């Protein structure tokens, strides 16, 4: 009888030891780890407020300045976060002017933040940004001029498109012209439909249809055909799908009979379900 009790006690001890080693200790470690993480987050948390971030850009360390400018550009993507007061606007412009001699990333992200606001009051500062020698800063200014729909920038953007300069710079100018939709830019966009760079041709066609010009329809028709992308082996499947969906969004907004055959084919046999469904929806609504 005593042997049985001793055996039971030993078994119970082993069970408790196993429970303690493999469950209780790991659980306690996990709990303390989570508590430590939240405590660390609370101690290091900084309020993501536009004015607070501007203050960091003004007086923070080098790393702090460009990171705060980056956070500000992200914050401005939400319209609810965009201050409308003149003080904020003046501070943004002032910081952008002073950033000429700072880390180039500060100026890039400040320019992008200005564009995200959609506020035309940043037009002067962004036009000055077109003179920047740093290509990333200049591209940020080009993009943001499109975002705020700066008609004053159209002539300069046309010059950039027609310059045969940096491809990314020209591409940004083409996209911005499509956002601004000034009809005076149509001739230069038609001209680059035959450009040797595929992205230039594609985005020129997209910008043209936004301005109700059908001159680039033949390019958009090609972009709806999967076989066309075989000419561009560096374009992966996700890029192809995203491009087709982008063109379909344009077709939905600007329906043309030219797209009918491609839409029928996509709706019946495309391997991407989103593309099939979107094509069917466009056909039912517009054709």
Question: How many angstroms separate the CA atoms of 33 and 25, rounded?
Answer: 12
DSSP annotation string for the chain? -HHHHHHHHHHHHHHHHHHIIIIIHHHHHHHHHHHHHHHHHHHH-----HHHHHHHHHHS-HHHHHHHHHHHHHHTTSGGG---SHHHHHHHHHHHHHGGGS-HHHHHHHHHHHHHHT-GGGHHHHHHHTT-SSHHHHHHHHHHHHHTT-GGGHHHHHHHHTTT--HHHHHHHHHHHHHH--GGGHHHHHHGGG-SSHHHHHHHHHHHHHTT--TTHHHHHHHT-GGGGGG-TTS-HHHHHHHHHHHHHHHHHS--GGGHHHHHHHHHH-S-HHHHHHHHHHHHHH-
Which CATH topology does 51-148 take? 1.25.10
Dump pLDDT digits (tens) for 194-219: 999 999 999 999 999 999 999 999 99
pLDDT reported for residue 165: 83
**Rounded-to-integer distance, Cα 264 and Cα 190, Å:** 28
**pLDDT of amino acid 41:** 46
- The angle that helices 260-269 and 237-253 make with each other, rounded to 10 degrees, is 130
Predicted pLDDT of residue 4: 45
Q: Cβ of 175: how many Cβ atoms within 10 Å? A: 21
Residue ranges of domains in the chain:
51-148, 216-287
Q: How far is CA 194 from CA 109, 173, 244, in A?
A: 33, 17, 20
**Running along the chain, 287 residues long, what does each successive block of 10 average in pLDDT?**
47 50 58 58 56 90 91 93 93 94 94 96 97 96 98 97 92 98 97 95 96 95 95 91 96 94 95 96 92
Find out whether 240 and 199 touch, Cβ atoms under 8 Å: no
Stated pTM of the model: 0.81
pLDDT in tens, 28-71: 666 666 565 555 444 444 557 899 999 999 888 888 999 999 99
């Amino acid at each position: 009888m005593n042997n049985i009790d001793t055996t039971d006690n030993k078994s119970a001890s082993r069970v408790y030891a196993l429970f303690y080693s493999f469950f209780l200790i790991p659980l306690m470690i996990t709990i303390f780890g989570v508590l430590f993480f939240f405590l660390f987050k609370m101690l290091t948390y900084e309020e993501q407020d536009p004015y607070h971030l501007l203050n960091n850009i003004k007086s923070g360390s080098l790393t702090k300045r460009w990171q705060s400018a980056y956070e500000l550009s992200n914050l401005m993507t939400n319209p609810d976060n965009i201050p409308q007061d003149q003080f904020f606007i003046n501070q943004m412009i002032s910081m952008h002017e002073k950033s000429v001699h700072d880390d180039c990333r500060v100026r890039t992200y400040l320019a992008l933040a200005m564009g995200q606001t959609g506020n035309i009051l940043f037009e002067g500062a962004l036009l000055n940004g077109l003179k920047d020698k740093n290509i990333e800063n200049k591209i940020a200014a080009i993009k943001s001029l499109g975002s705020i729909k700066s008609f004053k920038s159209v002539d300069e953007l046309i010059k950039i498109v027609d310059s045969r300069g940096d491809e990314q710079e020209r591409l940004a100018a083409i996209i911005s012209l499509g956002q601004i939709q000034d009809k005076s830019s149509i001739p230069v966009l038609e001209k680059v439909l035959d450009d040797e760079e595929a992205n230039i041709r594609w985005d020129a066609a997209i910008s043209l249809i936004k301005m109700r010009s059908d001159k680039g329809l033949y390019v958009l028709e090609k972009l709806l055909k999967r076989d066309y992308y075989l000419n561009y082996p560096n374009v992966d499947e996700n890029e192809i799908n995203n491009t087709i969906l982008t063109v379909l969004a344009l077709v939905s907004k600007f329906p043309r009979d030219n797209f009918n055959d491609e839409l029928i084919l996509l709706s019946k046999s495309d391997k991407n379900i989103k593309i099939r469904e979107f094509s069917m929806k466009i056909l039912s609504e517009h054709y």
